[in-house]
Amino acid sequence: MLWIQRQRELHFRYVVFRPFLDEIITGKIKGCSQDGVHVTLGYFDDILIPPESLQQPAKFDETEQVWLWEYETDEGTHDLYMDVGEEVRLRVVDETFVDTSPTGPSTADSSSPATAAEETQRKESPYTLTASISEPGLGLLSWWTNG
């Protein structure tokens, strides 16, 4: 039996996500850690708001595993929690590209387990954003709604 393979044109489309620096976007809090607040857009998850870029004064609640803004009023301090799933308005302040393409076989014995550094490099995201909410109007949308 003879197989004949025909050449076909391949058409495809792609969307590139790369916000401008200083662009304001809205996402949802995916989680919190000592590193800061992790935000998702649904189609992109590698956004971090580091502690120094939160509304100040901010602190991490170890028990709840959330960040909170200690908001001062004439009546005292109110803790405004940054809960998972809440919508957040943020400013993009930095982006990081990391070459995650394979490097080929190492000179070491291929049967040896991967080192911790190699494992970390494999898990690193090729594109990450650093954001800030440390100015008026940024942060959880619920903080700024008129009620």
Structural domains in the chain plus CATH codes: 24-100+118-139 (2.40.50.140)
The answer to whether 95 and 22 are in contact (CB under 8 A) is no
The parts of the chain modelled with pLDDT lower than 70 are: 1-5, 106-122, 146-147
State the pLDDT at residue 121: 47
Question: What is the pLDDT, as a whole number, of residue 92?
Answer: 96
Say which residues have a Cβ less than 8 Å from residue 84's Cβ, sequence separation at least 6.
Answer: 29, 30, 31, 32, 66
Amino acid in position 92: V
Backbone angles phi, psi at 79, to 5 degrees: -90, 115
pLDDT at 109 (0 to 100): 52
Per-residue model confidence as pLDDT tens digits over 1-30? 666 667 788 888 888 888 999 999 999 999
The amino acid present at 33, given as its one-letter code, is: S
